[in-house]
Structure 1
Amino acid sequence: MLDVTVIEDAEAAAVSLDPIRARLLAELAAGPASAAMLAGKVGLPRQKVNYHLKALERHGLVELAGERRKGNVTERLMRATAASYVISPLALAAVQPDPDRFRDQLSARWLLALGARLVRDVGSLITGAAKARKRLATYALDGEVTFASAADRAAFIEELTAGVGALIRKYHDGDAEGGRPHRIVVAVHPTVKPEAADAAAAVEAAH
């Protein structure tokens, strides 16, 4: 099972967002189970669970883990193909964010558009690498810093911009034969407090 995988197809995204199917995905991420085993956990008849499982299987979100005999019946044990899923902006191709439409380094919405493009591009690279059975070379840096003041934050941004810019100028070689372009995204934003994230999830669930 993969730790995380990307959903690029609009129909697969719609299937995964159905509350019942999302619950089934969560259950199957914890371990293989049959429709009968899942029925009691989600409070639905086995036939209804089977219907949802088949929809998830058609879109590659779950897969057959094995079979077992139970009396005169052969049960299919299903498992999730990943522990978690990310929906790519490609699933909403016509309205996906485009950070090239405007550039504002101090705009939270531009940062969001950059993040969406990152999800889209890395998701596509993962899909292509998997099909080619090749390893994808990536790097990510994640950290947290507490600024004593807004002035310190502004100074940090200025030094970060200058430092990264200097590295880009040092190593960029647009004329290198066989060179491969790489995109660099550096983001700074306030840390989201766990209670705020939980509150947002609760509001979404209420709707």
Structure 2
Amino acid sequence: MLDVAVIEDPAAAEVSLDPVRARLLAELSVPGSATMLAAKVGLPRQKVNYHLKTLERYGLVELVEERRKGNVTERVMRAIAASYVISPTALASVQPDPSRSPDQLSARWLLAVAARLVRDVGALITGAGKARKKVATFAIDGEIRFASAADRAAFAEELARAVTHLVGKYHDESAEGGRDHRIVVAVHPSVRIEPAGTQASETPTKEQ
């Protein structure tokens, strides 16, 4: 089972967003049959079996084994991943485009950049999976607490200078056989995820 799977097909995305099927995907982090799942989700076995076949058709679950019970063959299924990300590719005609309004101080521009990151890395993972290769990536994730807005601005300026220096040092336009890489550096307020039904503790102070 994968840690994360990327859904690029619009139809598969629609299937995964159905509340019942999303619940089944969550339950199938551990292999189970339609009979086992029916007891957990409170639906008739036939209904669960219908949803499982739909999920299987779009490659979101896979067959683990078949068990013979009397005259019935029980199919044990498993989700292909522990979690799923829907790529902006699934919304091809309306997917975010950072080039439309490249404002580095806009939260919505940052969201568009993040969406492009999901799209591109998702495509790389899909391609690498078909070629049975790994994707060479690197990321840093952490938190920093600023004493003031002025400190935050100074940090952003210094960070930009440092990244610009590194790009100038290592970028080689004439490198034969070289491969372009995209760099994404982001700073945003941390969000504390609250239990379902409540709002996150961090809310933006200004609409951007």
Q: How does 1:1-207 map to 2 (within 5 A)?
A: 1-29=1-29, 31-195=30-194, 199-200=198-199
Compute the displacement of 1:7 (Å). 0.1
Displacement over 4 Å in runs of 4+: none
- TM-score, structure 1 length as denominator? 0.94
Secondary structure of the equivalent of 1:44?
Answer: coil
Aligned position for 1:204: none
Structure in which a larger fraction of residues adopt helix: 1
Letter in 1 for 2:65: G
CA distance in 1, matches of 2:69, 2:154: 67
Unmatched segments (≥5 aa) in structure 1: 202-207
CA distance in 2, matches of 1:196, 1:154: 32
Compute the displacement of 1:71 (Å). 2.9
Compute the displacement of 1:196 (Å). 8.2
Compute the displacement of 1:194 (Å). 2.2
CA distance in 2, matches of 1:47, 1:91: 30
CA distance in 2, matches of 1:196, 1:36: 30
Change (3 A) 1:154 1:196: farther
Compute the displacement of 1:81 (Å). 0.2
Aligned length: 200
CA distance in 1, matches of 2:140, 2:80: 27
Compute the displacement of 1:72 (Å). 2.5
- TM-score, structure 2 length as denominator? 0.93
Letter in 2 for 1:174: E
Secondary structure of the equivalent of 1:84?
Answer: strand
Compute the displacement of 1:197 (Å). 7.7
Change (3 A) 1:2 1:98: same
CA distance in 2, matches of 1:173, 1:15: 44
Letter in 2 for 1:184: I
Change (3 A) 1:39 1:145: same
CA distance in 1, matches of 2:152, 2:199: 27
Query: Percent of counterpart pairs with the same letter?
Result: 75
CA distance in 1, matches of 2:140, 2:195: 24
CA distance in 1, matches of 2:195, 2:53: 36
Secondary structure of the equivalent of 2:116?
Answer: helix
